[in-house]
Amino acid sequence: MACQRALSYGIYNCKTIQTILENKMDGYEESLFADELPMPNHDNIRGKDYYK
């Protein structure tokens, strides 16, 4: 599961996989890492429209 998680993020090194295993991140639900999570409102966040 650790390798699968690392590969899904395009990370291909052993140190990252070791960190995932040491922190037991391989057991986390995939939804915790989903890209669909809303970005928090904050004055320093400009958003996609700023860069058009």
Mean of the per-residue pLDDT values of the chain: 76
Cα–Cα distance measured from residue 26 to residue 19, given in angstroms and rounded to the nearest whole number: 10
0.85 surpassed by pTM: no
Each residue of 27-44: pLDDT tens digit? 776 655 555 556 666 677
What are phi and psi for residue 25, nearest 5 degrees? -75, -15
Token pair of 25, please? 């991140």
Q: How far is CA 48 from the centre of its chain?
A: 19
